[in-house]
Amino acid sequence: MGHETAVTASELATEPFVLTDDFYQDPHAAYDELRGRGPAHLVRFPDGGTGWLITDYEVAKAAFLDPTISKALKSKGARAALAGEAGGGQVASAMFGDMMVFYDPPEHTRLRTLVNRAFSSRAVRELAPRITELADALLEDLAADARTDQDLLDRYAFPLPMLVICELLGVPNEERDNFRAWSTTLVSNDETIEARTAAVQQFVGYIDQLIRAKGSEPADDLLSELISVSEDGDKLSHRELISMVFLLLVAGFETTVNLISNAVAILLSDKTVRAALAQDPDRVPDFVEEVLRYESPASEATFRYTTVPVTLGGVEIPAGQRILVSMAAADRDPARFTDPHTVDLDRADKNHLAFGYGIHRCVGAPLARMEGGVALTRLLAAYPDLELAADAELSWRKSLIVRGLTGLPVRLRP
Ligand code: HEM
């Protein structure tokens, strides 16, 4: 990435690449086309604003690690990038400014330290028996309906991660349909700013009430732990507490739901992989890694902002620009992964970027991996003949952040 080969933003592209509705149904075709042109691309996002989409593996890693590329919504770079734009970025800056995913060090480090322990590999291993129990209970519920078409997203892939994150935090699960509706609106690039703002306000209002209720009746759960830290004064403000709970809830179920359903969708169409897993269920963890690489549930990372001019993959990007690192594109970069458009259980290189990279790398990765593995193992054991429902056509949600299906109609037993 030497400066001597740098191309300036204006030399590179006068017209941004436009992400249209077709993009969501087949983003990999667009990524392949873009990657063929270079590693960093000026694009027009569905909110009308522009930014730089990164599609190459090595350049994506460099962007994740560059300390001059800020995550902080309150930074000068972010303000410049969002100035005058009637876009989703404004919703974000108003609503989520206090989430750790939108902070730089040292604030980020302070907040991240508070939750690291709860999501460590060791803490997560202890949750495995309970997650298995929850998965089995959902599968048993399905038994009575096994010979009619069922939406596996509604009946399994969604409720399982929701139950798990609610239990972990100590949040009642009754509101789960509301959580789902608010969150779907929030991450959709097909909703108005007003609708997205209203969804966030409702969600935040609910969390605020929840914190007040929990404060008077603490229990042995993560929310009570975070509340006691916030009562400690300078460690976590009330706004930060709300933001943390919001982030954990949304990040805790949106992504894992899609890990499970994207995995099942692959199994329903790829007979070779399906047969390999039926023969040896111990290969499920290898499959989970391939799903993460091949159809990453978080397709693009959250926005980053250049604070000074930077050169990424030989492309010079001015200060005050939005950067969108595409893990989905990077993880199918042929320069890094041989035969990237194939799901290969024997793939030795498991260093995909599905959980991001650098200081913001997903704190929930051990939980997501374990939950995905348990969900698939139990599903395949209970319903080995699972099939896509006759005439079912799968379609993808219109979201730049989340890669997930709108539904997954299946027949559990022939
Ligand atoms: C398959 C499931 C998951 C995927 C693919 C995923 C992906 C990601 C990615 C790509 C990032 C980095 C975002 C960026 O740098 O812009 C991230 C951050 C984060 N994830 Fe996950 N995630 C998953 C599951 C979870 C779960 C289960 C939780 C926890 C309950 C979680 C909590 C978080 C949090 C709190 C952050 C922010 C970390 C920080 O800013 O330091 N994620 N995730």
Condensed to tens digits (0 to 9), the pLDDT of residues 346-356 reads 999 999 999 99
Asked whether residue 388 is assigned to any structural domain, the reply reads no
* Number of structural domains in the chain: 1
- Domain with 255 in it: what CATH number? 1.10.630.10
pTM of the entire predicted model: 0.92
Expressed in angstroms and rounded, the spacing between residue 112 Cα and the centre of ligand 1 is: 12
Assess if residue 389 is contained within a domain.
no
Between CA 236 and CA 99, with CA 302 as vertex, the angle to 5 degrees is 10
Other residues' Cβ atoms within 10 Å of the Cβ of residue 295: 25
Q: Which residue has the higher pLDDT, 276 or 174?
A: 276
Q: What is the band of 94 on the pLDDT scale with cuts at 50, 70, 90?
A: low
Helix (H, G, I), strand (E, B) or coil at 274: helix
pLDDT at 92 over 70: no
Per-residue pLDDT band for 4 (boundaries 50, 70, 90) equals very low
| Mean pLDDT within 386-400 | 91
Residue 297 CA: nearest ligand 1 atom is 5
pLDDT of 14 reads: 57
- If you measure from the C-alpha of residue 13 to the centroid of ligand 1, how many angstroms do you get, rounded to a whole number? 32
- Going 111 to 159 to 392 to 46, the CA torsion angle's sign is negative
Reply yes or no on whether the pLDDT at 194 is more than 50.
yes
pLDDT of residue 84: 57
Beta bridge partners of 62: none
Q: Of residues 79 and 407, which shows the higher confidence score?
A: 407
Rg from Cα positions in the chain: 21
CA within 13 Å, CB half, 404: 25
In a domain, 398, yes or no: no
Is residue 410 a part of any domain in this protein? Answer: no
Instruction: Describe the strand order of the beta sheet including 322-325 as a list of residue ranges.
Output: 17-18, 40-44, 50-54, 322-325, 304-306, 69-70
What atom in ligand 1 is closest to the CA of residue 99? Answer: 40
The finding on whether 284 has its CB within 6 A of some atom of ligand 1 is no
Index of the ligand 1 atom closest to the CA of residue 258: 1
Q: Has residue 280 been placed in a domain?
A: yes
Closest CA to 156 of 413, 411, 408: 408
Distances (CA, A) of 7 to 14, 53, 102, 390: 13, 16, 29, 51
- Asked if residue 235 is part of any domain, the answer here is yes
Q: Note the pLDDT tens digit of each residue in 45-54.
A: 776 788 999 9
Our answer on whether the CB atom of 244 is closer than 6 Å to any ligand 1 atom is no
Evaluate whether residue 347 is within a structural domain. yes
298 lines ligand 1 (CB under 6 A): yes
Residue 27 has pLDDT above 90, yes or no: yes
pLDDT at 388 over 50: yes
The per-residue pLDDT for 371 is 97
Angle among Cα 74, 75, 77 to the nearest 5 degrees reads 130
Query: pLDDT for 116-151, tens place per residue?
Result: 888 898 889 999 999 999 999 999 999 999 889 999
- Please give the residue range of the domain that contains residue 26: 3-383
Which pLDDT score is estimated for 1? 36
Q: What is the pLDDT of residue 192?
A: 80
* Three-state SS at 310: strand
Q: What is the DSSP letter of 147?
A: T
Q: What pLDDT, on the 0 to 100 scale, is given for residue 5?
A: 45
Report yes or no on 411 lying in a domain: no
Nearest atom in ligand 1 to 367's CA? 27
Atom of ligand 1 minimally distant from the CA of 64: 15
364 lines ligand 1 (CB under 6 A): yes
Give CA torsion, residues 364, 368, 371, 375, to 10 deg: 160
111 C-alpha to ligand 1 centroid (Å):
14
Going by alpha carbons, the residue nearest to atom 39 of ligand 1 is 360
Mean pLDDT of 208-233: 85
CB-based contacts of 409, cutoff 8 Å, min separation 6: 149, 150, 151, 152, 388, 389, 392
Quick: pLDDT tens for 286-318. 999 999 999 999 999 999 999 999 999 999 999
Pocket of ligand 1 contains residue 247 by CB under 6 Å:
yes
pLDDT of residue 91: 53
